[in-house]
Amino acid sequence: MIYVTQPTLPNFDDFTEKLKELWESKHLTNNGKFHQELEQKLAEFLGVEYISLFSNGTLALIVGLQALRITGEVITTPYSFVATTHSLHWNGIKPVFCDICQEDGNLNPDKIEALITPQTTAILPVHVYGNPCDNEKIQKIADTYGLKIIYDAAHAFAVEKNNRTILNWGDLSILSFHATKTFNTFEGGAIICKDATTKQRIDYLKNFGFAGEETVVAPGINAKMNEVSAITGLLQLPLYEKNRLKRQKIVNLYKAKLKNTKGIRFIKSNENIKENYSYFPIFIDKNKFGKSRNDVYDLLKQNNIFARKYFYPLISQFPAYRGLKSAKKENLPVATKMADEVLCLPLYADLELENAEKIIRMINE
């Protein structure tokens, strides 16, 4: 069985060694020693100034929107994991779906302005598959209309453009450290913000609003990262770059051997971007390829290879959202087409090259 992804794990003995330390300290959560150390190490590693760790990426998104007091309507992409839009719903915010660009699957900045109303307060784009959004254009719109930008950067761990992190873009960036992501803490997440005051507010909110033993400054929630996850993160960090390069090798192999296949296209890469190789989506044009995306999905599945249709269906097609005017398929033609054509092929550091070759052969034959 080959799944679309497989988590990387630190050395087991290193892990138990750290756990011994934790057992002795009995400080299991609430901004413990490992939590503090991981925040500091991650800030250095990612090249950001302020980072707050969370129990998962979804709660980080929900709290990030609260921290900036986002209300009313938010313009977002339907081509993502459901948590992006759910985080708006959990804040009583109306999602307004905007179509995407065919080249990279990200929010199409040229389609944003037409969706702005007096109720719009923010834009929630996703760096889908880790490919950076067109931040310059999005920021310009946000500045013109006085909107905030919260980037769902769940796929964009350690991605850089022109040798600089993209995680400082917008007002906030949200990361996920879920088991299926390129950097995992079993479950986990983070918010990256730009000033100490905002980080302080976020840290209050993720801990019930406690600002002191007897002071609660906001109706916060419990979204803190525990010490076992923080330990995992500390042990994962030194392994990250080696694993990234292993994934790069697999991606390069997929690209080399599928690039001449008629009816299959990839997301274009860009030399200025340091990619994290978190996903490898291919887009299958049924008319040119001769078989549909679903045909390929089924064929691989019959051979115990579990590729995934990320992102099909579109978020805008789920019952909670499909009644919205912006969810209509005619408003989202590019997203609809990409969702129908996409297939993410297996990609993880320990995927053997021979198995990648096997997958390629099945598709090509």
Ligand X SMILES: *Cc1c(COP(=O)(O)O)cnc(C)c1O
Chain positions contacting ligand X, by CB under 6 A? 56-58, 80-81, 83-84, 126, 152, 154-155, 176, 178, 189
Cα distance between residue 192 and residue 39, in whole Å: 10
Q: Distance from CA of residue 109 to its chain's centroid?
A: 19
Q: How far apart are CA 22 and CA 6, in angstroms?
A: 27
Nearer CB in complex with ligand X: 177/254: 177
SS3 148: strand
Query: Alpha-carbon distance 249 to 281, whole Å?
Result: 15
Give the shortest CB-315-to-ligand X separation in angstroms.
10
CA distance 233 to 159: 18
Q: Output Rg (C-alpha) for the chain, integer angstroms.
A: 21
Q: Cβ of residue 84: shortest distance to ligand X, in angstroms? A: 5
Task: Give the shortest CB-23-to-ligand X separation in angstroms.
Answer: 26
Question: What distance in Å separates the CA atoms of residue 354 and residue 170, rounded to the nearest whole number?
Answer: 41
Smallest separation, CB 108 to ligand X (Å): 17
Q: Which is nearer to ligand X, 167 or 258 (CB)?
A: 167
- Closest to ligand X by CB, 243 vs 264, is 243
Whose Cβ is closer to ligand X: residue 76's or residue 258's?
Answer: 76
Cβ distance to ligand X smaller for residue 87 or 289 = 87
- Residues 6+ positions from 162 with CB-CB distance below 8 Å: 272
Q: Are the CB atoms for 227 and 22 separated by under 8 Å? A: yes
How far apart CA 219 and CA 206 sit, in angstroms, is: 10
Which C-beta is closer to ligand X: that of 93 or that of 363?
A: 93
Residue 180 CB, shortest distance to ligand X, in Å, is 7
Q: Which residue is nearest to ligand X (CB)?
A: 57
List phi, psi (to 5°) of 118: -60, -20
Q: CA 145, CA 204: separation in Å to the nearest integer?
A: 29
Name the minimum Å distance from CB 148 to ligand X: 18
In angstroms, give the least distance from the CB of 149 to ligand X.
15
Q: Minimum distance between the CB of residue 126 and ligand X, rounded to whole angstroms? A: 5
* Nearer of residues 81 and 277 to ligand X, judged by Cβ: 81
CB of 155 to ligand X, least distance (A): 6
Helices (H), the chain: 12-25, 33-46, 57-67, 83-89, 135-145, 196-205, 227-236, 240-258, 286-289, 293-302, 333-341, 353-364
DSSP string, 193-256: ESSHHHHHHHHHHTBTTEEETTEE-S---B-PPPHHHHHHHHHHGGGHHHHHHHHHHHHHHHHH
Nearer to ligand X, 289 or 321 (CB): 321
Closer to ligand X by Cβ: residue 77 or 120: 77
